[in-house]
Amino acid sequence: MSEKKYDIEILRPEVREENIKFKGEGFSQERLAKIKKGLLTLHTLEIMATNIYRFQITKEKSELNKFLIAAMLNEMTHIQDFEIKLYEYGWKPTPLRYAYLTLGFIFGTFSRLRGAKAILQMGIWVESQAVKHYSELLSDIEWDDDTRLVVEKDQADEDGHIARWKALLAAQK
């Protein structure tokens, strides 16, 4: 679990023009390869998470839908975080990212069809997998300082989603 040093109530942190910086100068090819692989992994998984939430949302004006919309917004921000980092390094997202959109559609739609409990269970499972990936990538990759902060903040957001989904699931019992 991430430490509580990030305000996870902020769904879309402010980014200013001066925050955009080119990265990777003087890094070894091995380090760059690990960073690229990590950013591509995080970017595609956030696309999947965003689309799971997108396809779980119904027309109902419920507390669950409000939280799903907020989670989707937050995940969309994560997509942007990692896409910007890819471009700062001079890379581009993988064309295979669209497969993760499809997976998000499948997971989101089928959990929605099974009801609120399945939606919450899917959220807990997906976010738990995300936190695990974030932890592995944070320990295995020598990130630049700015990118590490983004990865840590986004992991803290995922921890927050897990806590919310678990609390809502417990309230359903």
Q: What is the pLDDT of residues 85-133, one digit of tens each?
A: 999 999 999 988 889 999 999 999 999 999 999 999 999 999 999 999 9
**With respect to CATH, is domain 28-172 assigned 1.25.40.10?**
no
Mean pLDDT (whole number) for 13-37:
95
Asked whether residue 6 carries a pLDDT value surpassing 90, the answer given is: no
Longest dimension (CA), the chain: 55
CA distance 73 to 95: 22
Mean pLDDT (whole number) for 27-53:
97
Asked whether residue 2 carries a pLDDT value surpassing 50, the answer given is: no
**Can you state the angle between helices 29-56 and 97-114, rounded to 10 degrees?**
30
Q: How far is CA 77 from CA 104, 139, 140, 142, 167, in A?
A: 16, 23, 24, 23, 23
* Structural contact between residues 48 and 104, judged by C-beta atoms closer than 8 angstroms: yes
Summarised one tens digit per residue, pLDDT across range 73-88 is 999 999 999 999 999 9
Query: By three-state DSSP, how is residue 24 classified?
Result: coil
CA distance 82 to 42: 7
pLDDT bucket at 4, cuts 50 / 70 / 90: low
